[in-house]
Structure 1
Amino acid sequence: MDELPIGRRVAYWRGRRKMSQQVFADRLGKSKSWVDKVERGVRRLDKFSVVYDIADVLQVDVTLLLGKEVERKPETQNCIDQVEVEEIRAALERYDQMSAFFQAVPHSPPLTEMRKAVSHAWLTYQHAKYGVLARALPKLLRDAQAADSAHASSDEASTAAHLLGQVYQIASSALRKVGEHELSWLAADRSIAVSQRAGDQLLAGLASYRVGSALLALGRVRPSLEVNVNIANRLAPVGPARPGEDQLSVYGMLLLNGAMSAARIGDSATVRDLLYGAEQAARELGGDCNHYWTSFGPTNVELHRCATAVELGDGRLAVEAHEKMNKAGFHAMLPERRAHHYLDIARGYTQIGDVEKAGEMLLEGDRLAPSEIRCRPLAHEVLSDVLRRTRGTPPAPIAELAEQMGVGV
Structure 2
Amino acid sequence: MDELPIGRRVAYWRGRRKMSQQVFADRLGKSKSWVDKVERGVRRLDKFSVVYEIADVLQVDVQLLLGKDVERRPETQNCIDQVEVEEIRAALERYDQMSAFFQAVPHSPPLTEMRKAVSHAWLTYQHAKYGVLARMLPKLLRDAQAADSAYATGTEAKDAAHLLGQVYQIASSALRKVGEHELSWLAADRSIAVSQRAGDQLLAGLASYRVGSALLALGRVRPALEVNVNIANRLAPSYEPAHKGERLSVYGMLLLNGAMAAARIGDSATVRDLLCGAEQASLELGGDFNHYWTSFGPTNVQLHRCATAVELGDGRTAVETHEKIDVIGFNAMLPERRAHHFLDIARGYTQIGNVEKASEMLLEGDRLAPSEIRCRPLAHEVLSDVLRRTRGTPPAPIAELAEQMGVGV
TM-score range, shorter chain: over 0.9
| Partner Cα separation in structure 2 for residue 22 and residue 315 of structure 1 | 45
Instruction: Compare 116-125 and 319-328 and name the one that shifted more.
Output: 319-328
Residues 372 and 314 of structure 1: is their aligned pair in 2 closer, same or farther, counting only changes over 3 Å? same
| Partner Cα separation in structure 1 for residue 283 and residue 198 of structure 2 | 30
User: Could you list the per-position Cα deviations for residues 343-371 of structure 1 after superposition, in whole angstroms to 9, with x for gaps in the alignment?
Assistant: 11111111112222111111111100001
TM-score w.r.t. length of structure 2: 0.93
Cα displacement (A) at 1:54: 3.9
| Partner Cα separation in structure 1 for residue 350 and residue 20 of structure 2 | 33
Q: Is the 8 A contact 2:339 2:373 kept in 1?
A: yes
Q: Is the 8 A contact 2:315 2:349 kept in 1?
A: yes
User: Could you list the per-position Cα deviations for residues 164-215 of structure 1 after superposition, in whole angstroms to 9, with x for gaps in the alignment?
Assistant: 1001100100011111111111110110000000000000000000000011
Residue 280 of structure 1 corresponds to which residue in structure 2?
A: 280
Instruction: Compare 15-24 and 110-119 and name the one that shifted more.
Output: 15-24
Residue 18 of structure 1 corresponds to which residue in structure 2?
A: 18
Residues 111 and 343 of structure 1: is their aligned pair in 2 closer, same or farther, counting only changes over 3 Å? same
TM-score w.r.t. length of structure 1: 0.93
| Partner Cα separation in structure 2 for residue 388 and residue 255 of structure 1 | 35
| Partner Cα separation in structure 1 for residue 349 and residue 107 of structure 2 | 53
| Partner Cα separation in structure 1 for residue 160 and residue 17 of structure 2 | 35
| Partner Cα separation in structure 2 for residue 120 and residue 241 of structure 1 | 26
Cα displacement (A) at 1:35: 5.6
User: Could you list the per-position Cα deviations for residues 4-63 of structure 1 after superposition, in whole angstroms to 9, with x for gaps in the alignment?
Assistant: 343443332233233455665676677777766655656655544454344344332221
Q: Secondary structure at the match of 2:102?
A: coil
Residues 210 and 32 of structure 1: is their aligned pair in 2 closer, same or farther, counting only changes over 3 Å? same
Q: Is the 8 A contact 2:216 2:224 kept in 1?
A: yes
Q: Is the 8 A contact 2:79 2:131 kept in 1?
A: yes
Residues 43 and 359 of structure 1: is their aligned pair in 2 closer, same or farther, counting only changes over 3 Å? farther
Cα displacement (A) at 1:271: 0.6
Residues 21 and 263 of structure 1: is their aligned pair in 2 closer, same or farther, counting only changes over 3 Å? farther
Same amino acid, percent of matched pairs: 92
Q: Secondary structure at the match of 2:266?
A: coil
| Partner Cα separation in structure 2 for residue 207 and residue 377 of structure 1 | 23
Q: Is the 8 A contact 2:245 2:291 kept in 1?
A: no
| Partner Cα separation in structure 1 for residue 43 and residue 242 of structure 2 | 72
Instruction: Compare 311-320 and 361-370 and name the one that shifted more.
Output: 311-320
In the TM superposition, what are the counterparts of 1:3-402 in structure 2 within 5 Å?
A: 3-20=3-20, 39=39, 45-237=45-237, 243-245=244-246, 247-402=247-402
User: Could you list the per-position Cα deviations for residues 96-142 of structure 1 after superposition, in whole angstroms to 9, with x for gaps in the alignment?
Assistant: 22111111112211111111111000000000000111111111111
Kindly tell me the number of residue pairs found equivalent between the two proteins: 406
| Partner Cα separation in structure 2 for residue 378 and residue 34 of structure 1 | 38
Residues 386 and 50 of structure 1: is their aligned pair in 2 closer, same or farther, counting only changes over 3 Å? farther
| Partner Cα separation in structure 1 for residue 134 and residue 243 of structure 2 | 39
In structure 2, list runs of 5 or more residues that go unmatched: none
Q: Secondary structure at the match of 2:120?
A: helix
